[in-house]
Amino acid sequence: MGVARMGELGLGDTCGILRQPWITSRRNSSGLGWEHLYVSTQQERPYRAEFAPAATHLLILHLDGPVTVSRGQGRARRSRQVPPGGFFLHPARRGLAVELGGRLDTVHAYLTDEALREANDGRTVELSEELGATDPLVEQLMLTLQGVIQRWEPAARTYVDHLTGMLAAQLAHWHRADRERTPYKTPRGLSPRQLSCVRELMEQRLAEPLPISDLAAAASLSVSQFTRQFRASTGKSPHQYLLRLRLEQACRLLRTGTASIGEVAVSCGFSHQEHLTRVMRARLGTTPAAVRRAG
């Protein structure tokens, strides 16, 4: 899947489940350069084991079932039959004793403390231990991340940062140990100067994978503050906005330039011609070749 970057979250940062012989790995995010999230899809066979504390928070989405899962030991042991779409949440820095009662297809996500703090305005978050919980948004985000690693495109880096922030925010606010609910406040938007700086950076780096952290830095905000305020200002996520800019530039170059469609695609941040064609058809209902012919 490529060469790992410095600072990437990897298999060594997980609790150890994925290294066991009862795991049949399918795909994972190794080599994609994700710093605050590690995602893996696999089939698990029945097992009972204990694992040492890990530095990351573990979220396991059940793709099929129902299957019986137990966690803890002695009087603290709990068991539950978990349906498809249910999930298992285990906070960082806690030992894990778990038993899986049947074969199961899963998506694992391992999140850093930093991702949770970013989603909670810099404040530390203590997550709850959950067994068989359901949350439609968590499920959809996990399935979307599964799709991203199955069809990875380098241009999706901003999108992955956005998904990571959304997942961390959902866990931080609705699956925290204290279960506090705070009133929702409509976020204020970016100032015109902030928005101008962010757009200028997007336009300068259309051809590159662009982490949300870089965009947030241009606005002098944390990632969580930036994401909320950017959406309040534009009505779009940073990924959606960046994608629109890339498509607009691609259309301009196709209408007025002589570069090949493949060259236009790469210069506008798409991985290759087929990637541009797929996105343009889905978003604009046309193709690069048709745009070029229309001139």
pLDDT at 187: 62
pLDDT at 201 over 60: yes
Q: Binning pLDDT at 50, 70 and 90, where does residue 178 land?
A: confident
Per DSSP, 178 falls in state: T
Burial of 276 (0-12, 13-18, 19+ CB in 10 A): buried
Tell whether the model's pLDDT for residue 106 goes beyond 80: yes
Residue 271: which pLDDT band, with cuts at 50, 70 and 90?
very high
- Amino acid 79: pLDDT: 95
Q: How confident is the model at residue 2 (pLDDT cuts 50, 70, 90)?
A: very low
pTM summary value:
0.77
Over residues 255-274, the mean pLDDT reads 95
Q: CA 57 to CA 109: how far, in whole Å?
A: 8
pLDDT at 182 over 60: no
- Overall average pLDDT of the 123-140 stretch: 93
| Residue 235 confidence class, pLDDT cut points 50, 70, 90 | confident
Residue 184 has pLDDT above 60, yes or no: no
Contact 264, 257 (CB under 8 A): yes
